[in-house]
Amino acid sequence: MKIGFIGLGVMGRPMAGHLIDAGHTLQLSRVKDASRFLLDKGGTGAATAAEAAQGAGVVILMLPDTPDVEAVLLGDDGVLAGLEPGALVIDMSSVSPVATKDFATRTGAAGGHWLDAPVSGGQAGAENAALTIMCGGSDAAFDMARPLLEVMGKRITHVGGAGAGQTAKVCNQIIVGLTIQAVAEALTFAGAAGTDPSRVREALMGGFADSTILKVHGQRMIDQTFDPGFRIRLHRKDMALAVDAAKALDLALPNTAVVQQLMNAAIGRGDGDLDHSALIRTLKAASGAD
């Protein structure tokens, strides 16, 4: 299949590479030095998003934020300007569920199909083709996309109509963010109380407090190794999506708002490009325990 792929960051590069390895022809927008290896693998460069979409049956977006998707999709040289009739747009970015419904409507009006398919699993999941993918769109769009999604991910769920995938991703980021805070607070408490945090972590694994975050990020916190993974500034963006959506829905999400503020503080102290497990540094600094 001929695929337009736009967004070759730390996640997008390996995702595009898996598709090329699976035999698909990729038209790549935003090729920079770090992604030139994809041209060596057989991908072709495209000067604009519209050019990447031309002749493609599927266009995949993997972009940082809602305004990026809006510009790439709807701009003068955007995807919809070059979209083939009946082509499928798959947005694998993590963006606003509200804006996503508008993107889906605009794509349909341009003669295309839409699927929002944000991912979880971070850089390691992208590199190992083991992403969790949450999908929103019609049954037909999901069926069209599934063979491609299976090249990049392991757990693929059709959640509902357009926007439902983004809603599920926001839910994921709420749980991850609050759990990172909980683990960070627990290990900070253990150390301040004079108990070895590594022994506490070991004692908690296997009980009700166990989680992937306790296992993986708890170890990162103990070792103080915070190479990203998933940067705090990107997770802060996702928490802002949750807080903004809660406001629109008149919901109280108090702990989500607290974690967003802690991430603001982490970025303010210069930790924005560290892994989100580095939130423990902000908590320790606030307690005078760093």
**Active site (annotated) includes residue 169:** yes
Beta bridge partners of 116: 91, 136
Catalytic one of 41, 169, 215, 237? 169
- Both structure tokens of 253: 């999400």
Say if CB 120 and CB 92 are below 8 A apart. no
> For the range 140-148, what are the long-range contacts, defined as Cβ-Cβ under 8 Å and sequence gap of 24 or more?
140/113, 141/88, 141/113, 141/114, 141/115, 142/115, 144/58, 144/88, 144/113, 144/115, 145/58, 145/88, 145/90, 145/115, 145/117, 148/1, 148/3, 148/19, 148/24, 148/58, 148/60, 148/90
Query: Smallest Cα–Cα separation from 54: which of 2, 128, 118?
Result: 2
Residues belonging to the active site: 169
